[in-house]
Amino acid sequence: MDFEMHDTAEMAAFRKEVKDTFSQIIPKELIVSPYDEDVTPEQEAMRRKIGLELGAKGWLRPMWPKQYGGGGLSIDHAIVLEQEIDQYEITIPPYSDSGAGLGGPAIMVWANEEQKQTFLPKMATGEWASWQLLTEPHGGSDLASTKTTAIKDGDEYVLNGTKTFVGTTDTQPDWLWTITLTDPKGPRHQNLSWFVIPAGLPGIMIQPLDLLNGSGGAKCSVFFEDVRVPAFNLIGGENNGWKVAATHLELEHGGGGTVRGTRQVERFIEYCKTTAFNGETIASDPAVRDAIADILTDDNVATLFGLRNFWMSHSKKRMSYEGSQSSFFRKMGGLRKSGLMQQVLGYLAVTSDKAMAPGEGWVDSYMKSSIISVHPGGTQDVQRVIMARRMGIGRTAKEEAGQMPD
């Protein structure tokens, strides 16, 4: 039985067009190795230029409606684009832009038409790069406990507070979006509002953080001090921010799925097959082959969950616990895989020394990222709680998934 996906004649022609285009606009210099501390300004400029070129073709957000700057394309087109860009080890968009991928759908669902026409086309064409600002210093997993305030003053809201572990040092944002406390005395979940904010407004300060995964792409803190935001930038109505956030949280928790595999796993296996000690390759050891089998099992299950959710999300299928199920398995599977890699390679797995690091530093990078990845987008415990609520465990009614665009 053949489980592989095969292109129709139409998709084969589109794939050729994509391959030809990518070969022309994506330079080899764009790829950043784990040894590089930062994306250089030149590489960042390349990424933004590629984003604009993809946006002009409708490929940056291929399934968004054309009226909002997207490509109006099918799920098959989106899969081809994701598969082909993955060959260059970059993403669509090729720069950090959680605003479009997560915040864009929230705007589509909850904004009025004037707001959609104002914000979405610039996100879809690559003119704007934007950050999501959710986590706060006192606790990131409990989004409803946000302490950043937005108090209305005439036709503006005045924001004060701090968001942290957000964005990336690779890309400076043009816009930010966040959830805030607009009714400090109001009931929980009914006292929050969701805003789109120009990143250059007076009173906004962005400060990089020094984290475990190094300075390249490190996270930041964003401080708001009496920042005045136009009331027009409030999405979904005052004190309705929790419902707006439920849309992008559904995607962030794994509901959007992915068609990508794990490049680091491929590198690890190739390293074991080609690296020899005392005349024998690492992979010739039966215990190592057992570990590789376990790694591949975890990796393939995670890939299948991602493919399922990608199809369900983009086919407008009703979703329940699937997003968090995929996210939970990916987070825990990442820890299991990195643990097995370390068992096989020993201390070499956790060094970035150029003379000794296996896989040109990618193994060490994976060791770090597997730990760090347990937190973003909801910790493993958050995913467990969501799955239980969606299945109705411990409650009289099952929790509904966040509303997605039509």
What is the DSSP code string of 254-301? IIT------HHHHHHHHHHHH-EETTEEGGGSHHHHHHHHHHHHHHHH
pTM of the model: 0.84
The pLDDT of residue 5 is 67
Q: How many domains does the chain have?
A: 3
Question: Is residue 117 included in any domain, yes or no?
Answer: no
Res 1: pLDDT: 47
118 within a domain of the structure (yes/no) = no
Model confidence at 36: pLDDT above 70: no
How far apart, in whole angstroms, are the C-alpha atoms of residue 285 and residue 11? 42
Residue 290 within any structural domain of the chain: yes
- 233 in the same domain as 153: yes
Do 200 and 300 share a domain, yes or no?
A: no
For residue 169, the SS3 value is coil
112 part of a folded domain:
no
Position 249 in a domain: no
Range 137-144, long-range pairs (CB < 8 A, 24+ positions): 137/162, 137/164, 137/221, 140/164, 140/165, 140/375, 141/378, 141/379, 141/381, 141/382, 143/179, 143/245, 143/249, 144/188, 144/189, 144/192, 144/242
Considering the domain architecture, whether residues 137 and 43 belong to the same structural domain is answered as: no
pLDDT score for 144: 84
Does residue 46 lie within any of the structural domains? yes
Distance, CA of 64 to CA of 282 (rounded, Å): 47
In a domain, 103, yes or no: no
Tell me the pLDDT band of 215, cut-offs 50, 70 and 90: very low
Question: Which domain, by its residues, includes 367?
Answer: 256-390
User: Which one has a higher pLDDT value, 190 or 397?
Assistant: 190
Q: Do 316 and 221 have their domain in common?
A: no
Do 286 and 260 share a structural domain?
Answer: yes
Using one digit for the tens of pLDDT, what is the confidence trace for 162-184? 999 888 777 788 999 999 999 99
Query: How far, in Å, CA of 87 to CA of 396, rounded?
Result: 47
Q: Of 95, 113, 145, which closes a domain?
A: 95
CATH code of the domain containing 49? 1.10.540
Same domain, 261 and 340: yes
In this structure, are 281 and 373 located in the same domain?
Answer: yes
| Residue type for position 390 | R
CATH number of the domain bearing residue 135: 2.40.110.10
Quote the DSSP letter at residue 100. I
- Shared domain check, 281 and 380: yes
Residue 378: the pLDDT is: 81
Looking up residue 351, the CATH number of its domain turns out to be 1.20.140.10
Q: Domain check: are 138 and 215 in the same one? A: yes
CA distance 116 to 49: 24
Q: Is the pLDDT of residue 13 over 60?
A: yes
Among the candidates 224, 244, 264, a domain finishes at 244
Last residue of a domain, one of 95, 122, 156: 95
Do 345 and 268 belong together in one domain? yes
Is 235 found in the same domain as 161? Answer: yes
Average pLDDT over residues 132-138: 89
Asked if pLDDT for residue 32 goes beyond 70, the answer is no
Q: What is the pLDDT of residue 61?
A: 92
Size (the chain), residues: 406
72 and 13 in a single domain? The answer is: yes
Residue type, 143: L
**Which one, of 132, 37, 65, lies nearest residue 377 by Cα?**
132
**Alpha helices, DSSP H, located in 175-285:** 241-250, 263-274
